[in-house]
Structure 1
């Protein structure tokens, strides 16, 4: 058995075991995969398996449920076989583990079997198994932790998708990246699959036209790309995004609805200094929605927000039949919001 690393000072703060990125997973006698994001956890676990299998194709892989555990299973699966093949044991449901599993796992991490890798998956959905997690993180055994933090914010999704293309050494233009992320805003698993499809299928750079060709059927959510760009004050980009969305078949009515939803959220949190969690509970919003609305409010004031809301209300009536040209109504709304000034005022003044 390999010598253990020297103990760290008791004054050290935070986990005493290495924190390893899910993008660069590696094996260790004990691998804790923690956090709620299943896409990242699955990538990490598969990466550890592939790493071990590349070292020895004879790798024995076993799966265990910690919430439906038969006593003695962990030791039986990690014990050396007759021919000494390496062993990988993947344990799911640690956040719901039985007492029998908890007791045996606590004993096992103190003396891991040579040639065995045990992956413990804990989603963080409960405090069950906390004693085991604390022992692993304290360096009781020879372990590492691979965090699978939740991907909630728009910026997190953008970073995730950008990382997919960077890892594949594939270039995606910024507007195409935003359109792709917006098209899969509600499902990180689908976003990951879309990134991998584009990486595998497309030769050369990934452009707006590529995103339209592959995912034009999801144009109903491309409205949020236009709204985000306009609210951020990027006037030229907002008009380009609007025309791109319309050319892709976007309907003006849900386009205006997307603006109204974001502006409504901004108005609800404007001027409020409550902590995000407390404010979100009071308003019936998610924490990340409050955080996003507060970020969107940067550069806005009561007057400009009022103008934007009025422009959106007018556009809503016009695209529903009060005007002959819904496209002009959309462009006027985007102009007022992106410039934060009455329509007809020269941008920048």
Structure 2
């Protein structure tokens, strides 16, 4: 019988959001999502620069490290300016860096902020990370986990607008995320461009104007029109998507995801915030699912979910004609036919 797994040890240091980073003697920026890590490091630099424009910034590559560099950069200068030392590639660090960094934790220099970037791509430097997380050096950690799920990308983009105190309509947000589903860096840049160029609320028209070529054939455009019962538009959007090289698998996944969300909220009389909290969703997702349910019966919704499960298997190899499988699902959803049709 296998020994029971030990629960992960909780970190003894504060955990900060990459959106609201703050300096500390040691700042561990961990995790693979480079966009968030860059934002965190830039945010710390801006914070320190705002406090003192004389900030000295130094960069160290831990994989190609010269012994003694870290304590030298962190040491007080003649005029006592604050220092920021940015260290990259800690997951590839040399033995010399590891020795210097562990020694530095015992006595961080006053006025110095050392930012350590570890992607988690290897266990190299684990001894250093464990020491920091145990509280040595008085550090903080900024976790940057991978953003791979559609819901995580939606949260990322929504956070861009929320951080700027700007509103984007839920449908515009989903269209924007779908347009840049494969590149978080581009998604972040698109959000920032809209924030810079557009005044007031950002709606579907603005997203269409800037990124219409990428949005018009997105999986969620197909799903939204089908669920709304616009059969002709949905088929046209599907054919445009397939003609532009879209994969049938995410098209089916988008439809299935929306149908499952509708099924989770159907029949509930709870307020959107209460239901969202109970289901682990966002308020706007509950509101949108309830709007999507207009005109749907329980039988039609159950049949559509069954059809989506069948189509999912077919586009993943159970059928020789993935296009037909998607078209059949689209027709069942848009016409709300019983299943099997």
**TM-score per shorter chain, which class?**
0.7 to 0.9
Q: Which residue of 2 aligns with 1:251?
A: 240
Which of 162, 166, 180 does residue 162 from structure 2 map onto?
Answer: 166
Give SS of 2:58's match. strand
Give SS of 1:146's match. strand
Q: How far 1:216 sits from its partner (Å)?
A: 1.4
Q: Which residue of 1 aligns with 2:76?
A: 80
Residues 187-202 of structure 1 aligned to structure 2 (within 5 Å): 187-202=183-198
Count of aligned residue pairs for this structure pair? 287
Over the residues paired in the alignment, what is the CA RMSD in angstroms?
3.8
Q: Quick one: structure 1 residues 138 and 207, their matched pair in 2 at CA, closer, same or farther if it must change by over 3 Å?
A: same
Q: Quick one: structure 1 residues 49 and 257, their matched pair in 2 at CA, closer, same or farther if it must change by over 3 Å?
A: closer
1:19 has 2:15 as partner: yes
The farther-off stretch of 252-261 and 74-83 is 252-261
Q: Render the CA deviation track for 1:130-157: whole Å, top value 9, x for unaligned.
A: 0000000000111000001110000000
Q: Quick one: structure 1 residues 69 and 156, their matched pair in 2 at CA, closer, same or farther if it must change by over 3 Å?
A: same
**2: CA distance, partners of 1:337 / 1:60:** 60
Q: How far 1:109 sits from its partner (Å)?
A: 1.0
Contact 2:231 2:335 in 1 (8 A): no
Q: Which residue of 2 aligns with 1:119?
A: 115
Q: How far 1:85 sits from its partner (Å)?
A: 0.3
Q: Render the CA deviation track for 1:286-320: whole Å, top value 9, x for unaligned.
A: xxxxxxxxxxxx966656644798999999469xx
Give the TM-score taking structure 2 as reference length.
0.73
Q: Quick one: structure 1 residues 212 and 129, their matched pair in 2 at CA, closer, same or farther if it must change by over 3 Å?
A: same
Structure 1 gap ranges (5+): 1-10, 268-297, 319-328
Give the TM-score taking structure 1 as reference length.
0.72
Give SS of 1:67's match. helix
Contact 2:223 2:254 in 1 (8 A): no
Q: Quick one: structure 1 residues 338 and 94, their matched pair in 2 at CA, closer, same or farther if it must change by over 3 Å?
A: farther
Contact 1:304 1:341 in 2 (8 A): no
Q: How far 1:253 sits from its partner (Å)?
A: 3.5
Q: Quick one: structure 1 residues 182 and 68, their matched pair in 2 at CA, closer, same or farther if it must change by over 3 Å?
A: same
**2: CA distance, partners of 1:339 / 1:225:** 18
**2: CA distance, partners of 1:253 / 1:90:** 45
Q: Quick one: structure 1 residues 310 and 71, their matched pair in 2 at CA, closer, same or farther if it must change by over 3 Å?
A: closer
Which of 40, 50, 59 does residue 36 from structure 2 map onto?
Answer: 40
Structure 2 gap ranges (5+): 1-6, 257-300
Which of 146, 149, 153 does residue 150 from structure 1 map onto?
Answer: 146
Q: How far 1:219 sits from its partner (Å)?
A: 3.9
**2: CA distance, partners of 1:80 / 1:119:** 17
